[in-house]
Amino acid sequence: MKKWMALKMALVCALLAGTSEAQFLQNEKQFAADLLLQPVAGQTGVYKNKYYKAYVTSKKGLVTGASFVFNGEMQFRDLSSIVNYLFDDLYFEEERDLIKEWNSHVQNIRSRDGYSFTDDSLGYQLNLQGKDSKSYVLKMNLISRDLKSFPEDAVVYGDPAAKVSVQIFSDFQCPACKMLSSEVLEKWKTTLPAQGVNIKYYHYPLDYHKNANPAALASECARDQGKFWEYAEYLFETTGWLRKTGNDLTESLIGLANRTGLDAAAFKTCYETAQHQDRIDQHIKAGDQVKVWGTPSVYVNGVPFGNWDDFSRLGALIQLAK
């Protein structure tokens, strides 16, 4: 039996070696081709190969979910290898994390409803169900957060009435947020408004970044004077304020206000009285509601967008949202 299982998995791996890495948010035909699937005659959205059958869900011409019914016996390690190989945008820190997750919830998997969980970027929901190792069904779907959970008082770049939004939860002391700002955000600013898409910025200062909340407060004071984006750019570009505390930090942030051309006296009053702390606290609360997975966390109309430098995927998410 063990020899047969080893041979079977070798055949599966040989099949996988001939595939491209599949992704949701592409057209159904390409999705099936990447998995070497053939359409089942007379059944819309149903495909198969020798090892599994796939039931594909599409919206606006893009794949948003699929259920895989496996033929024959499969172990968790085999399922994990297949899933991680085929879907490069499904994110786990380690492949064994997926196996560990399943092994610790066998009783739920054996139940009628199966066991549901999300990947580490919270972009996908997975459900595994099977009464035994010969009857596994794996369902994968894109996750979408309720748009009502995103506060209306975001900082907006572009048309506030746009029907599609790129929603960013960010921290001014976060290195990855700086990278997004310098390498990606400027491109978004020049291309997205013309596509009817706005950019919404929310504050999510992390507790262990001690100057992140003061910087968020300062940026909101700059927003009062119509210079949020300019001030935010200075915060990401400069580093002196990162190491300051107390009065030195205040003076450093006021110095950036002067460089931005703000009314320094009004800025100082706003900052020292923590005028916009309630707004920042609401953004943090909202971030927790939509399950921010770190900073930056980016969404497109509520759909998590973990690979925020992937412009092709961004285009697909925008198409899905319109």
Give percent of the chain above pLDDT 90: 73
The arithmetic mean of pLDDT across residues 77-106, rounded, is 77
For tokens 């005028």, the residue is 275
Output the average pLDDT for the chain: 89
Is 70 exceeded by the pLDDT of residue 89?
A: no
For residue 95, the model assigns a pLDDT of 58
For residue 273, the model assigns a pLDDT of 98
pLDDT band at 22 (very low <50, low <70, confident <90, very high): low
Comparing 37-51, 79-93, 182-196, the range with the smallest average pLDDT is: 79-93
Query: Does residue 47 contact residue 60 with C-beta atoms inside 8 Å?
Result: no
Is 60 exceeded by the pLDDT of residue 38?
A: yes
pLDDT band at 77 (very low <50, low <70, confident <90, very high): confident
Query: Does residue 153 contact residue 279 with C-beta atoms inside 8 Å?
Result: yes
For residue 154, the model assigns a pLDDT of 98
Give start and end residues of each alpha helix (H) in 87-126.
Answer: 95-103, 106-109
- 89/303: higher pLDDT: 303
The arithmetic mean of pLDDT across residues 280-293, rounded, is 96
Nearest to 266 by CA among 228, 229, 258, 280: 258
For residue 4, the model assigns a pLDDT of 40
Query: Does residue 284 contact residue 291 with C-beta atoms inside 8 Å?
Result: no
pLDDT band at 86 (very low <50, low <70, confident <90, very high): low
- 87/19: higher pLDDT: 87
For residue 21, the model assigns a pLDDT of 55
How far is C-alpha 275 from the chain's CA centre?
31
For residue 307, the model assigns a pLDDT of 86
For residue 16, the model assigns a pLDDT of 44
DSSP assigned state of 40 = P
> To the nearest 5 percent, what fractions of the chain are helix, strand and coil?
45, 20, 35
Strands 62-70 and 52-59: antiparallel
Query: Does residue 231 contact residue 262 with C-beta atoms inside 8 Å?
Result: yes
pLDDT band at 19 (very low <50, low <70, confident <90, very high): very low
In order of their start, the domains of the chain are: 2-142 (no CATH), 148-321 (3.40.30.10)
Nearest-angstrom CA–CA distance, 221 and 318: 31
Is 60 exceeded by the pLDDT of residue 15?
A: no
- Cα torsion angle, 109, 115, 120, 125, sign: positive
Nearest-angstrom CA–CA distance, 267 and 253: 9
Residues 100-157 pLDDT 10s: 889 999 999 999 999 998 876 678 899 999 999 889 999 999 999 999 999 999 999 9
Q: What are phi and psi of 262, to 5 degrees?
A: -90, 160
Residues 188-219 pLDDT 10s: 999 999 999 999 999 999 999 999 999 999 99
> Rounded to two decimals, what is the model's pTM?
0.88
Is 60 exceeded by the pLDDT of residue 50?
A: yes
Residues 176-189 pLDDT 10s: 999 999 999 999 99
Query: Does residue 25 contact residue 320 with C-beta atoms inside 8 Å?
Result: yes
Is 80 exceeded by the pLDDT of residue 85?
A: no
